[in-house]
Structure 1
Amino acid sequence: MVPDSDETVANTAPSRRRSTVASVARPVQRGATVSAGIYRDLRNDILALRRKPGEAIAEKVIAQDYGVSRTPVREAVLKLADEGLIEIFPQSGTFVSRIPLGALPESIAIRRVLEEASVRYAAQRATRSQIARLRVCLEVQHERETAGDHEGFHQADEDFHALLAEVAGYPGFWTLIQQVKVQIDRYRRLTLPVLGRMGLVVAEHKAIVDAIAAGDPDAAVQALNTHLDDLESTIADAQKANPRYFSVA
């Protein structure tokens, strides 16, 4: 028997497929396919923790919210299951997957390799106007921190790292990173309400920008690694504070 949404077993059996709960869905954007729109909305809700790990996904309710049959909902759910964001328990239900602890260090390692290259190239190539844009990103992050806007801060953080790849001359680096960090994104959002966390991130980002502005690739890489080391070191604290959101698999 599969536990209810707040008691789902952290370690699921290998035979179980991955799958999410229902919240009020948003309209599909014009021109997008129904399935693609539902997939996008569900994915955004899962990554933003509006749909919590372990929460049930009611495909019938989602279909009613969108005014569609269950077929496009099922297509979206299966795609999210392939990404490891949803778990499907045959004969029992569909749930938002818990954050797999074992996957986080590897995802951070992959991200580290790509971002080390980004900041190294950025330090070698950044123009004055690009450095100014990076500093504007820092100001936006600080504003979001001051406002206590966790979701806005997360987006400003994303914009900053995307800009690093752009300044490096390889924006595709960030595209690749986004493909491997979906579980990191969920974990990171759990850390943002922690007192002082957003301010620390801004300070770490500033150190990266200062090194890039100084044209010092080694210092830029060192500052980045300090930033990512800190991200990895807080995983245990996040699990301790939110044990039901993680699986040890």
Structure 2
Amino acid sequence: MAQRVYQAMKEAILALDFPPGANVRKAPICEKLGVSRAPVTEAIARLANDGLVDVVPQSGTHVSYFSMDEIREGVFLREALEVATVAKVARDITDDQLKKLSRNMRLQELLVDDDDTAGFYQADEEFHHLLMEFTGFQRLPDVAQTVSLQVTRARLLLLPTPGRVAETLEEHRALFNAIRNRDELAAQREMHRHIGQLLPRIAALQAEKPELFEKQ
């Protein structure tokens, strides 16, 4: 039960249903999920450990503001994992795995044509998950998500930026082509370029919406 509540609350925070600074009140969550206070309390403790909420004694709980320090660290760690991932995948990918990746690329293209940003985000997440799954390292997807939770939240704010979804598709297409050609160096280069877009764009977002970020 506590795991289900934790997962539901984490997904709501990552999807910005609970924006940075929003109060997290137990009673409405209990009512919505049909649970008692105990699993909600446990879930909040885990979310605090993840850095997604701040629990302030005598004041309450609120969703954490974006931290540029944590985002920089998350991007650094995510890039290290993703670059190593595509190098191995480009070297070892099987024909069946390539077909799965190709199907995902076609789905991304359809979602861009349909102007479906939410659907594209899910396909984007699946694209990266597939790459990590193809390494054969079972813990890798969970580790990557854990080290970049703040980055994941910020990316959801970036996607609605005009032209960003189409640009992301082109970056994914370049990655896919490098992997299909089994070009390890090109795959690493394209992943560096893909992840390298994040920090400048998030910094611009901070300038545009400073109320979502920790005060420096």
TM-score (norm 2): 0.93
- The size of the alignment, in residue pairs, is 216
Mean alpha-carbon deviation: is it higher for 45-54 or for 170-179?
170-179
> Partner of 1:107 in structure 2?
74
- The answer to whether the 8 Å contact 1:104/1:184 transfers is yes
* Partner secondary structure for residue 247 of structure 1: coil
* Residues 90/149 of structure 1: CA separation in 2 closer, same or farther (3 Å cut): same
Quick one: distance in 2 between partners of 1:161 and 1:68?
33
RMSD: 1.6
Is 1:86–2:53 an aligned residue pair?
yes
> Partner of 1:166 in structure 2?
133
Quick one: distance in 1 between partners of 2:35 and 2:88?
48
> Partner of 2:191 in structure 1?
224
> Partner of 2:173 in structure 1?
206
* Structure (1/2) with the larger helix percentage: 2
Q: CA deviation at 1:91?
A: 1.4
Q: CA deviation at 1:165?
A: 1.7
Is 1:175–2:142 an aligned residue pair?
yes
- The answer to whether the 8 Å contact 1:51/1:96 transfers is yes
Q: CA deviation at 1:65?
A: 3.1
- The answer to whether the 8 Å contact 1:115/1:173 transfers is no
- The answer to whether the 8 Å contact 1:118/1:173 transfers is no
- The answer to whether the 8 Å contact 1:212/1:220 transfers is yes
* Residues 175/36 of structure 1: CA separation in 2 closer, same or farther (3 Å cut): closer
Whichever residue aligns with residue 157 of structure 1, its letter is D
Q: CA deviation at 1:128?
A: 2.7
Quick one: distance in 2 between partners of 1:164 and 1:86?
30
Q: CA deviation at 1:151?
A: 2.2
- The answer to whether the 8 Å contact 1:54/1:245 transfers is yes
Whichever residue aligns with residue 130 of structure 1, its letter is Q
Q: Give per-residue Cα distances to partners, 1:135-175, cap 9 Å, x unaligned.
A: 22112112222223222211111110111122333343222
* Partner secondary structure for residue 197 of structure 2: helix
Quick one: distance in 2 between partners of 1:72 and 1:228?
36
Quick one: distance in 1 between partners of 2:36 and 2:52?
22
Quick one: distance in 2 between partners of 1:46 and 1:77?
12
* Partner secondary structure for residue 234 of structure 1: helix
Percent identity, aligned pairs only? 35
Query: What are the residue-to-residue correspondences of 1:181-192 with 2, within 5 Å?
Result: 181-192=148-159
> Partner of 2:9 in structure 1?
42
Q: Give per-residue Cα distances to partners, 1:67-94, cap 9 Å, x unaligned.
A: 4432222111111111111112221221
* Partner secondary structure for residue 50 of structure 1: coil
* Partner secondary structure for residue 95 of structure 1: strand
Whichever residue aligns with residue 181 of structure 2, its letter is A
> Partner of 2:99 in structure 1?
132
Quick one: distance in 2 between partners of 1:51 and 1:71?
20
* Partner secondary structure for residue 137 of structure 1: helix
* Structure 1: runs of 5 or more not aligned: 1-32
Whichever residue aligns with residue 188 of structure 1, its letter is R
- The answer to whether the 8 Å contact 1:102/1:248 transfers is no
Quick one: distance in 1 between partners of 2:166 and 2:34?
43
Q: CA deviation at 1:201?
A: 0.7
1:74 to 13, 29, 41: 41
> Partner of 2:118 in structure 1?
151
- The answer to whether the 8 Å contact 1:53/1:98 transfers is yes
* Structure 2: runs of 5 or more not aligned: none
